Amino acid sequence: VQAEKGGYDSFMQKEIYEQPQAVRDTMGARIDQENKRVVLPELKMSDEELAAYDRIYIVACGTSMHAGLVGKEVIEKWTRVPVEVAVASEFRYRDPIYTDKTLMIVISQSGETADTLAALREAKKSGVKVLAITNVVGSSVAREADDVIFTWAGPEVAVASTKAYTSQVVALYLFALYFAQVKGTMAAAEIANVVEHLQQIPAKISTILDNAEPIRRFAESIKDATSLFFIGRGLDYAVSLEGSLKLKEISYIHSEAYAAGELKHGTLALIEDNVPVVALATQPDIYEKMVSNIVEVKARGARVLGFAVEGDRELAKTVDDVIHMPATLPMLTPILTVIPLQLLAYYASVARGLDVDKPRNLAKSVTVE
C-alpha cells in the first residue's frame, strides 16, 4: 500500500497533487487547439437534439452534487438555460416536471451510488434523456445513461473526493461551452477566451500546490476549534459548501458553509471571539458585498482567513490572513479555490492525528440506499 501511495503520506494527499494531471487529461482531446473550441465526439445525441434542450436537472450526491452547483452557474451564464441541482436521495422521490425538452445530467465519480442510479432509472422510465458524468468506465451509471462524458481522473481511493471533483467541474465547463456552441449563445471569441484560460488551469493548480505552507499553518491553528464557518457568494458559495464538507468528513470539526448575505438571518448569532471563518472573495461582481459581510463577522470577533485573487490589495486590510489565488476568469475560480480548501481539510485531519483516507462512518461509494 505504501508503494501505491507513491511517496505521499496518504491517498488523499497523492490525489490532491494529481489534480493538474487529472484536469489536463479530462480536457485532453476535447479541446480543438486550432480553433479554440470544444469538441465532444463521444456524444451520441446530435447537435440539433442537444440544442433543443431548454431545461436541465443535475442530480448527484455529496461532492459530485457540489460540482453540479458550479455546473449550474456556468450553464446558466453561458446558455441562459435554467438548471436545477438536486441531491439524488431527494430527487428520486419527487415528482419532477419534465417536458420533452428536459435533459437530466447525473454526476457520479464511482458510477455506483444507489440514489444517483435510482434517479437515473426513474428519469429514463419517464422518457427523459440522461447524460452521465462519471469517472468509471463500465460502471452502472456509465452503462445505463444515454450519453456519457468520462472524467479522466484515474482511480480515486481516499473516501474524501478531490481530483474527481475538479475533473467533474472541468467536464461541466466543457459541456457548458459545447452546449453554448450548438445553441449559438456565445461568440466564438468569447469561447476561445474561456478555452485559453481553461488550458492555463493545470499550471495554476500546481502553483497553489507548491505554496501550501500558509494553509498548513492555518490548519494547525484551527485543529482544536469546535466549529468553523465558510462564507461566500455566488460561485464562492458553491465552493464553500465543498470546503465545509471536506473539513467535516476528515477532521470531524463541525463546520457550516453559508451564503454570506444570509448570515444575518441566523448564523451570525454563532460568531463570537476567535471563531474561525474562511471567507472567499474571488468574484468581482459581488466583491464589495462580500467585504461588508467579512466586516460583520470581524466585528463579532471572528478570526478570518480570506481568499482573494492575485493583485487584490484590499482584502488583507479587513481579514487576519489572506491567501491569494492565481488570477483567472471569475467563472473558472472554483477549480482553483477548492484546492487550498482540500489542503485545509487534509492538514487539519493530519494535525488531529486522524485516518485521512478512511474517515469513520463513511464509505467511498454508497451502493445501498
Q: Does 113 bind ligand G6P (CB under 6 A)?
A: yes
Distant-in-sequence, close-in-space partners of 215: CB < 8 Å, separation ≥ 6: 323, 340, 343, 344, 347
Grid cell digits, residue 69: 452547483
Contact between 61 and 115 under an 8 Å Cβ cutoff? The reply is: yes
Q: Does 110 bind ligand G6P (CB under 6 A)?
A: yes
Maximum separation of any 2 CA atoms in the chain, in Å: 57
Q: Which of 213, 295, 362, 367 binds ligand G6P (CB under 6 A)?
A: 362
Q: How far is the CB of 190 from ligand G6P (least distance, A)?
A: 31
> Which residue has the CB atom at the shortest distance from ligand G6P?
62
Q: Does 116 bind ligand G6P (CB under 6 A)?
A: yes
* Terminal CA-CA length for the chain: 30
Which residues are designated catalytic? 364
Q: How far is the CB of 63 from ligand G6P (least distance, A)?
A: 3
Say if strands 37-38 and 55-60 run parallel, antiparallel, or are unpaired: unpaired
Closer to ligand G6P by Cβ: residue 128 or 159: 159
Q: Which stretch binds ligand G6P (CB under 6 A): 2-10, 44-52, 109-117, 270-278?
A: 109-117
Q: Does 342 bind ligand G6P (CB under 6 A)?
A: no
Q: How far, in Å, CA of 52 to CA of 55, rounded?
A: 9
Q: How far is the CB of 109 from ligand G6P (least distance, A)?
A: 3
Q: How far is the CB of 71 from ligand G6P (least distance, A)?
A: 13
Contact between 103 and 119 under an 8 Å Cβ cutoff? The reply is: no
Provide the mask over 56-95, with x wherever binding to ligand G6P is found by CB under 6 A and - wherever it is not.
Answer: -----xxxx-------------------------------
Neighbours of 37 (CB within 10 A): 16
Q: How far, in Å, CA of 282 to CA of 191, rounded?
A: 21
Q: Which stretch binds ligand G6P (CB under 6 A): 43-51, 55-63, 186-194, 276-284?
A: 55-63
> Torsion angle, CA of 77/78/79/84, rounded to 10 degrees?
-40
Q: How far is the CB of 167 from ligand G6P (least distance, A)?
A: 11
Closer to ligand G6P by Cβ: residue 269 or 363: 363
Closer to ligand G6P by Cβ: residue 110 or 181: 110
Q: Does 181 bind ligand G6P (CB under 6 A)?
A: no
Q: How far, in Å, CA of 123 to CA of 30, rounded?
A: 27
- Grid cell 489572506 is found at 322
Element (H, E) at 279: strand 276-280
Q: Which of 10, 13, 19, 109 binds ligand G6P (CB under 6 A)?
A: 109
- Grid cell 442530480 is found at 59
Q: Hey, which residues between 200 and 239 contact ligand G6P (CB under 6 A)?
A: none
Applying CB under 6 A, what is the total number of residues that bind ligand G6P? 16
Closer to ligand G6P by Cβ: residue 112 or 236: 112
Which residues face 134 on adjacent strands? 108, 150
DSSP string, 112-164: --HHHHHHHHHHHHTT-EEEEEES-TT-HHHHHSSEEEE-------SSS-SHH
Q: Hey, which residues between 125 and 164 contact ligand G6P (CB under 6 A)?
A: 159-161
Closer to ligand G6P by Cβ: residue 133 or 309: 133
Contact between 341 and 246 under an 8 Å Cβ cutoff? The reply is: yes
Q: How far is the CB of 194 from ligand G6P (least distance, A)?
A: 25
Class of residue 299 by CB neighbours under 10 A (exposed 0-12, middle 13-18, buried 19+): exposed
Q: How far is the CB of 226 from ligand G6P (least distance, A)?
A: 23
Binding site for ligand G6P (CB under 6 A): 61-64, 108-110, 113, 116, 159-161, 362, 364-366
